[in-house]
Amino acid sequence: MKMIHVEKMVTKIQAKFRQKLAMRKLEKDIEKQKEKLARRNMQNKNVSNEEIALQEFKQRLSKKGLTPEAFYRTCDPEYKREVSVDKFKMQIGNFNLQLSRGQVSRLVLILDEDMEGNITLEEYYNALEAYNCGGEKHYPYDGTDYYVSFEHKAMFKLLTILKDRRMSYQELFRSCDCNDDKDVNIKELETVLTGFSAEFYQKDTQAIHNFFDIDKNNSCTEEEFMGQLAKAERLLAAHKARLASGRPGTAG
């Protein structure tokens, strides 16, 4: 009689245990489906693969209570402002971020822009800013008091090239707008900018496009284009004046 009672108890416990396991599996599946859905939503919204990869990285880190910037600090405790790709990958493993090998390779491709095998702080911040994946305010790391955002740096680069080539803003807009729909999308911009100079990486194009696209509809009208180029010109003038004042101790 007693034996039967014990057996029943054991069966009950086993059933409960299986239930728990099944629940946990279900929860994991749901989590995976959610991630898949988020990825698909981003793809539908014309979000680039680079942005998706960085967003995923940021999400995994936030689950561990880290911003992307804090993660870099853990890779670079001595503040050398440079982390080898191997160290970066190792740290992703140490934090158990659960990123696939493909995801990690994509991240490295984006972050180590010049493919020299290390990720400088500048490369890292530039990528975070270009794809809107930063988690902290960025401060100057080159000894100056004034931080020029990556978006502004990319615009300054564009203005300088246009000036060198004596190309007007209208000409630039027309050469970008291949399909003549009076709108410039990121692909159109990329084709022209990468044709200009090897200095234009994908990140620059992304940042420039973000700067132009005020209403964030993933496309730039001629009005946005001209207005923002004029704004960039004012910013560049202020930047040059700051540099010329030659007082590194004064904040901008």
Binding site for Ca ion (CB under 5 A): 112, 114, 116, 118, 177, 179, 181, 183, 213, 215, 217
Report the alpha-carbon distance of residue 174 to residue 79 in Å, rounded: 45
Nearer to Ca ion, 136 or 181 (CB): 181
Report the alpha-carbon distance of residue 230 to residue 211 in Å, rounded: 12
**Smallest separation, CB 185 to Ca ion (Å):** 6
**How many helices and strands (H and E) does the chain possess?**
11, 4
Nearer to Ca ion, 56 or 213 (CB): 213
Nearer to Ca ion, 7 or 114 (CB): 114
CA max distance for the chain: 98
Report the alpha-carbon distance of residue 159 to residue 233 in Å, rounded: 7
Nearer to Ca ion, 184 or 242 (CB): 184
Report the alpha-carbon distance of residue 47 to residue 50 in Å, rounded: 8
**Smallest separation, CB 182 to Ca ion (Å):** 7
Asked if 211 and 226 touch (Cβ cutoff 8 Å), the reply is no
**Smallest separation, CB 83 to Ca ion (Å):** 9
234 backbone dihedrals φ, ψ, rounded to 5°: -65, -40
Nearer to Ca ion, 211 or 242 (CB): 211
Q: What is the identity of the amino acid at 231?
A: K
Nearer to Ca ion, 67 or 221 (CB): 221
**Smallest separation, CB 204 to Ca ion (Å):** 15
The 10 Å Cβ neighbour count of residue 232 is 21
Non-local CB neighbours of 120 within 8 Å, separated by 6+ positions: 81, 82
**Smallest separation, CB 75 to Ca ion (Å):** 13
Nearer to Ca ion, 177 or 242 (CB): 177
**Smallest separation, CB 110 to Ca ion (Å):** 11
- Strand pairing category for 183-184 and 220-221: antiparallel
Q: Tell me which residue of 102, 113, 140 sits closest to 205, measured CA to CA.
A: 113
**Smallest separation, CB 245 to Ca ion (Å):** 32
